[in-house]
Structure 1
Amino acid sequence: MTLSLRHVEVFHAVMSAGGATQAANLLRTSQPTVSRELKELERLVGFPLFTRKGRRLLPTEAALSLHAEVRRSFVGLEEITRTADAIRANASAHIKIACLPAYGSTLLPPVCRSFLGSHDALRLSIHSVEQGAIATGLSTGHYDIGILEAAPALEGIESTIIDVGEELCILPKGHPLTRKAVLEPCDFEGEDFIYFSADDAYRRTVDDIFQQHAVTRRLRVEATTATSICSLVSQGLGVSIINPISALYSLDKDIELRRLSVSIPYVIGIYRPANRQYPDLARRFGEYCMASLNDIRRRIEEVL
């Protein structure tokens, strides 16, 4: 069996467009040509890809499975096309950054603005994914730089560890607890609390502190991101304890910040795999991140 790129292109067009006529329009060819190519493809693979109902083509389960792989291949081709376009536009350098979702909407936008302002021939890709996916992507070389919390050790990858400060209490504006400058664990007794999901490392740390002080909070909502928790707190649904970066960026959302008497250090690791294509650019981007994190720590000190 020998498939041509044309067979795959026609199959992908039919699956994406929903029919032979629409695919023909996409490919700038005729509907009979598309139908002929599909029949040849079915002959080559040895199983039916579509059932025909009137003029409609309905994909079989086999077609859906095959298209999942074809779609991944086309994503790769699209990336090649984007790279070629960037080279043509004198923007050949491409830095792939992976970060936690919270950083994608807080830390990175101003960093990217500053960095791109000094690097015209450059493009950035930001991938907001979970901690484990970042570590895996760094280890396999899929990302040029990774920004993680809790600073895990990653073998064979350079890292810079930044102490951003401590986890902070966030409260709805005007909440009774805002009368205190520093909150004790006992202050949270019976309070409506917005929790991170159970698998979050800082959630477990916070839970341990309240258990040690025999404090019972009232679970109202669980959320997976600091951004969601800030929004929930701003709606008056409860209080919470989150990272200082998200806490600072939530100040314009009807939220007030307070220190917790028990220290929960918040540490970030900036990681760079060795032997990447643009090591100097990745290192410089990391330096911009470090400068921004140091500025965030200074601003928090001023606010509190």
Structure 2
Amino acid sequence: MRFKLRQMEVFRAVMISGSVSGAARLLYVSQPAVSKLLAHTETNLGLKLFNRSSGRLTPTKIALSLYEEVSHVYDAAARVDAFVENALRGPSGSVNVICSPSLGLSVVPRLIAEFLQAHPQVTIRFHTTLIQDMQTELLSGKADLAICVLPIEAQHLKSEKLMQGQMVCAIPDGHQLCEHDVISLSQLEHEKLVLYSRSIPFGNMQVAAFERYGCNVLRTVEVPRAELACSLVRQGVGIAIIDQFSVEGNPWHGVTIRPLKEEIPISVSLVRSVFTKPDAAADQFVELVQRRLSEQYYIKL
């Protein structure tokens, strides 16, 4: 191995700190030791990594590119270190959870909170992502499971539908439609609407619903996410049609939520890779997701 781990460590420290003295402080070694190993690294690799002038080090173009690669190595090493740490903590381990943005505002955080109350030694790594990126994260092992608002049909993924919700209407407080308990699409034909972008699945579902029910609507603003739509509704820009999961409990002051008369159904699925190895913590979280989403929320499939 031409570029050894210790050399990577010293090189990275110099790049981060910008100097030999700074690298020495980061690594708790002497400056001469850093200078010697850095010079040996350049000789060994046959590459000039730094320009030296008046005691200053300026990274070369190749050094900047090399630093990106070394950063990837350190990220991987950090994951290995986290794995070892979790292994030492026992079978509790960690669970990498991803979900659709609309589920990340209330539904999934509630599940995580309940799970951690019962399993405080488990580490949850959680973020939202778009449905088109979930397949890559699951198959690469970056995520143990995905909870998504639309089914994912892909090779090597297993998907289980757990519940079904609907799209709903978000109306500015004080608007005349707030007086109605249920809103029909026909009532929205002359209103300014904030809708999902037609480039995403939710947007396509809305377009199909308008065509199916013969509605001509005024599309004022297109957005990729429900929280953006609600922000616009609160400012009086228009009325939004969004998924109900994004506004569970209606956390938006100044926005009234009403169900739609016409159904625009949304199914929630649990997705895992067929290559995922059995893991006690992940399996326990999956069991909680299956139980809660099937029993308590919305319309059971």
Structure 1: gaps (5+ residues): 299-304
Task: Quote the sequence identity (%).
Answer: 28
Structure 1 residue 227, shift from structure 2 partner: 2.5
Q: State the distance in 2 between where 1:238 and 1:269 align.
A: 31
Structure 1 residue 266, shift from structure 2 partner: 0.6
For the pair 1:217 / 2:207, whether they are aligned, the reply is: no
Tell me the residue number matched to 1:45: 45
For the pair 1:134 / 2:134, whether they are aligned, the reply is: yes
**Equivalent AA in structure 2 for residue 14 of structure 1:** V
Q: State the distance in 1 between where 2:41 and 2:50 align.
A: 11
What does residue range 230-269 of structure 1 map to in structure 2 within 5 Å?
230-269=230-269
User: Compared with structure 1, are the counterparts of its residues 223 and 21 closer, same or farther at alpha carbon in structure 2 (3 Å cutoff)?
Assistant: farther
**Equivalent AA in structure 2 for residue 225 of structure 1:** R
Q: Deviations over 1:220-264 (max 9, x none)?
A: 3x4332233223323333221111111214345332111223211
Q: State the distance in 1 between where 2:92 and 2:148 align.
A: 27
User: Compared with structure 1, are the counterparts of its residues 22 and 277 closer, same or farther at alpha carbon in structure 2 (3 Å cutoff)?
Assistant: same
Tell me the residue number matched to 2:167: 167
**Higher deviation after alignment, 274-283 or 73-82:** 274-283
Structure 1 residue 190, shift from structure 2 partner: 4.2
Structure 1 residue 191, shift from structure 2 partner: 2.7
Q: Deviations over 1:54-74 (max 9, x none)?
A: 343222221221111111110
Q: Deviations over 1:102-156 (max 9, x none)?
A: 3233222211111122224422211322212211222333321111221122333
Structure 1 residue 214, shift from structure 2 partner: 4.8
**Equivalent AA in structure 2 for residue 217 of structure 1:** L
What does residue range 19-168 of structure 1 map to in structure 2 within 5 Å?
19-90=19-90, 92-168=92-168
Q: Deviations over 1:169-190 (max 9, x none)?
A: 1112222221222222232234
- Residues 272, 282 of structure 1: 8 Å contact kept: no
Q: Deviations over 1:30-60 (max 9, x none)?
A: 2232222222222233332222343432222
Structure 1 residue 91, shift from structure 2 partner: 5.9
For the pair 1:205 / 2:195, whether they are aligned, the reply is: no
User: Compared with structure 1, are the counterparts of its residues 91 and 229 closer, same or farther at alpha carbon in structure 2 (3 Å cutoff)?
Assistant: farther
**Equivalent AA in structure 2 for residue 127 of structure 1:** H
Tell me the residue number matched to 1:295: 296
Q: State the distance in 2 between where 1:292 and 1:92 align.
A: 21
Structure 1 residue 267, shift from structure 2 partner: 0.5
Q: State the distance in 2 between where 1:91 and 1:24 align.
A: 38
Q: State the distance in 2 between where 1:154 and 1:292 align.
A: 25
Structure 1 residue 218, shift from structure 2 partner: 4.1
Tell me the residue number matched to 1:186: 186
User: Compared with structure 1, are the counterparts of its residues 207 and 40 closer, same or farther at alpha carbon in structure 2 (3 Å cutoff)?
Assistant: same
Q: State the distance in 2 between where 1:250 and 1:51 align.
A: 58
Structure 2: gaps (5+ residues): none
Structure 1 residue 25, shift from structure 2 partner: 0.6
Q: State the distance in 2 between where 1:147 and 1:191 align.
A: 33
Alignment: residue pair count: 297
Q: State the distance in 2 between where 1:209 and 1:295 align.
A: 27
Q: Deviations over 1:5-35 (max 9, x none)?
A: 1110011112222322211110011223222
Q: State the distance in 1 between where 2:35 and 2:193 align.
A: 60
- Residues 250, 257 of structure 2: 8 Å contact kept: no
Q: TM-score, normalised by structure 2?
A: 0.87
For the pair 1:18 / 2:1, whether they are aligned, the reply is: no
**Equivalent AA in structure 2 for residue 296 of structure 1:** Y
